[in-house]
Structures are given as structure tokens and as C-alpha cells.
Amino acid sequence: MRPTYNRKTSPKVIGGHVQRKNNHTPTASEGYVVDRVRPGKGFKHVLTKKDIHDFTDLIPDWCDISEGIESVILDTGDEYADGYYKHYNREGTGAIWLSAWPSDLWITFNKEYFEEHEWLLQELGVPIEEEKDEFICHFVPSTAKAFMLLHVFLHELGHHVDKLRSRKKNIMRGGEAFAEQYANERFRELFPSYASKFGQP
């Protein structure tokens, strides 16, 4: 089962994710690749391939923690998940998937997700509108990009780092708690260099 963090109370399965082909050859030993899938109807990418490369250049220990990452996929779009990490046990590699966003960039979070990320949304200056037990976050392109790179990407990377901690580098014992803590700690570390490279969100 893939590690995900659903942003709504009643998630549903949405198709459209790119599937691995039977003749796939692992590329992790040659360095990771960034691939882009056309966004689904009503969605758009808030990141580019260059954004991914520029951001990983800011991570001082990237060469070590990216061991085994074969790809970062800018995915079609999913109303209920920001991204996910998948480990391919046979090859011993992993991939990070980052979802496209609704075209208006307004994202609705459930109460649990919002409360856990409220500090981060405030740091990024995202206007928030409360409606019953949901919170509508009015992102703009700069804050959406920052949220995806400084939190979602780092969260999924945290799952990969968690895997690297195991003896055979194939078990993620820390789960969501480890990935979330990892993302939060790296956010604080990387935000100054992010702002210097990409500008203030």
C-alpha cells in the first residue's frame, strides 16, 4: 500500500496514474529522472521539471538521501492526495509522485490536516476560509509551488529516507509520523535558501 496523506475526510480512488511497464529498467544508478504527465481535466501543474532539479540542488545531502530514487513524476492530478512515494522491492528503488492541482489553486483541507499544517500555511502566507469542518486555502502560484516543494516533496522524500534507515533499505518503519517530522524539520532548514532561489512565496 502506498504511503499517502489524504487531505479530505472521505477519499476515493481516482484512476489515471501512470503504470510501470514490464520492460522497465531501473534508472536510479544513473541518477533520477523527472517525468511530466499531462494534467487531468480541471487540473494544472504548479511545478516544472526545472523546479525539481533547482530544489534538489538546494538540499545539501541530496547525493546521499537520493540513493535509489529513480524518478520524480509530475502526475495527472488527484483531488484527495498531494503526492505519494512508492518503493519497488524487486529493483530496490523508489519513485516520488507529485499531483497536479485544481486549476483555481484553491485547496480544501479537512480539519485534521489543516490543524497539522496550519503553522506551515501561516509561514507561506496562505489566506484561509473556514466552512463548517473544512478549510479552503486560497493558494496562488508562488505559494502552491512552495507548499509542494517545501512540504509535499520533502514529506515523500521522508518516506524514502525512512526506507534507507532499514538494514536492507527496504522497510519504512517510521510511516507517516517520520515523513511528516522529516518534512517539517527540513522546511525550517531549507526555507532561507528556497526564498533566495525562488523568491519569497
pLDDT of residue 133: 87
Nearest of 94, 81, 74 to residue 32 by alpha carbon: 94
pLDDT digits (tens, 9 = 90+) for 46-72: 999 999 999 999 999 999 999 999 999
pLDDT of residue 30: 55
Higher pLDDT, 118 or 3: 118
pTM of the predicted model as reported, rounded to 2 decimal places: 0.84
pLDDT of residue 7: 54
List Cβ<8 Å contacts ≥24 apart for 1-6: 2/84, 2/85, 2/86, 3/84, 3/85, 3/156, 3/159, 3/172, 3/175, 3/176, 3/179, 4/81, 4/83, 4/84, 5/81, 5/82, 5/113, 5/155, 5/176, 5/180, 6/80, 6/81, 6/113
Higher pLDDT, 83 or 27: 83
pLDDT of residue 26: 46
pLDDT of residue 24: 46
pLDDT digits (tens, 9 = 90+) for 167-197: 777 778 889 999 999 999 999 999 999 999 9
**Mean per-residue pLDDT over the chain, rounded:** 86
What residue segments make up the domains of the chain, in order of their start? 28-198
Residues sharing a CB contact under 8 Å with residue 167, sequence separation 6 or more, in sequence order: none
